[in-house]
Structure 1
Amino acid sequence: MNRPPRGNRGGEVIVLVEDNTSPYYLHASDNPSLQLVPHLLIGSNYINWSRSVVTALIAKNKLSFVNGSLPRPLIDDLLSPSWIRCNSMVISWLRNSVSPQICPSIMYIEDAHELWLDLRDRFSQIDSARSYQLKQQLMFLTQGSSNVNTYFTNLRIVWDEFKHSQPLAWCTCTTCRCDSASK
């Protein structure tokens, strides 16, 4: 009887081939030339791009490769070849989702989590000119001759970009009492 390969992760047995809920599962339509999102990362669009990529990776059950929650197994682990294959697939998808100007700078990063962190560190910082521009847009946005829905949609677009471009406050206590996460 031919049984699908299995791996062991923290006492949990994982079926690699047929379990479509496993992060190691690759659908027949998953291929390295796939472009996850319709717009490429050009730098200034990092916030919207990263949100789109995260949504696509969640849909493909591969977010754990970029958020670091599925670290590389030891080389002798049965899951190691599958992890390498899926990690390589995610790296291909990410490379296909960035502009031709950015792609060469990530070509030699071989871990999807490291690649994701590299892009985040480089492009998540909003420049002061863009921050000022967004503040100005918020201050001077008026309904004018637009209907309420159009006005609200325009306001929401600018506000969401501004809100998500602000730096996060990091908690420095061991058991958070400073409430920096909600700030």
Structure 2
Amino acid sequence: MSVRKDQSSSVTSETVQAPVISQSFGEGSSLQITSHKRNGNFFLRWSQSVLLVIQGKGKIEYITGKVQQPDVNDPIYENWELNNSIVMTWLINSMELHISHTYLFLRTAKAIWDVVNKNYSDLENASQVFEIKNKLNDLRQGSMDITEYYNELQMLWQELDLHY
């Protein structure tokens, strides 16, 4: 945060400016953030991938609501709009076309994130828990070495933990 002091005649005023955090597409941003495209299945895997990437790019506040839309006349509005559009693009491009078109006209990244979560998280939870438990029940070491087998078990246990 920067503080600017203006001294004119005998009056001193301080203006506190919010930090400007922006990242242009040329600075390592990519329009495609995950290989796990939202396709109607595996919501948890998709959402975890998206969260990790967005958090890693320093923009998680745009989907959590911590950074809220400022007034259009606010000096930081342009920066907010740029970053919000980047996050919206990431979200839309991480979905299959038949799903993404549903969210194209929402106005904020947070709105997209909230609606996707509302539409998919509870819907898939019971069926995914059932599927994971079946995979755990059916998993056999077979030709896998012990490390492969353990890693497969560990992945399924972690996925199951995320549902509870």
| 1:129 maps onto 2:133 in alignment | no
Deviation, structure 1 residue 42 = 0.9
User: What secondary structure does 2:38 align onto?
Assistant: coil
- Given that 1:124 and 1:165 are in contact with CA atoms closer than 8 Å, whether structure 2 keeps it comes out as no
CA apart distance, 1:107: 1.1
Which stretch of the first structure deviates more once superposed, 69-78 or 140-149?
A: 140-149
Q: Which has the higher helix share?
A: 2
Give the aligned residue type for 1:132.
F
CA distance in structure 1 between the partners assigned to 2:38 and 2:87 by the alignment: 16
| Per-residue CA distance 1:92-126 (angstroms, 9 max, x = gap) | 11111100110111011111111101111112122
Aligned residue type for 2:127: A
In structure 2, the CA distance between the partners of 1:64 and 1:49, relative to structure 1 (3 Å rule), is: same
Larger Rg: 2
Query: What runs of 5+ residues in structure 1 fail to find an aligned partner?
Result: 1-5, 17-21, 167-183
Task: Say whether residues 1:113 and 2:110 are aligned partners.
Answer: yes
What residue number does 2:163 align with? 165
Q: Normalising to structure 1: TM-score of the pair? A: 0.72
Distance 1:31 1:123, change over 3 A: farther
Q: Which residue of 1 aligns with 2:56?
A: 59
Q: Greater strand share, 1 or 2?
A: 2
Rounded to whole Å, the distance in 1 between the matches of 2:49 and 2:36 is 9
**With structure 2 as the length reference, what TM-score do the two structures score?**
0.80
Structure 2: gaps spanning 5 or more residues: 5-14
User: Equivalents in 2 of 1:142, 1:71: separation in Å?
Assistant: 49
Does residue 1:75 correspond to 2:79, yes or no? no
Shift of 1:53: 1.2
CA drift of 1:144 comes to 3.4
SS of match in other structure, 2:17: strand
Kindly provide the amino acid, as one letter, of the partner of residue 37 in structure 1: T
Alpha-carbon distance in 1 for matches of 2:98, 2:58: 28
**Gap change, CA 1:45 and 1:133, over 3 Å in 2:** closer
Q: Residues of 1 paired with 2:158 and 2:96: CA distance?
A: 24
1:181 matched residue in structure 2: none
Count of aligned pairs: 150
Distance change in 2, residues 1:28/1:103 (3 Å) = closer
Pair 123,45 (structure 1): closer, same or farther in 2 beyond 3 Å: same
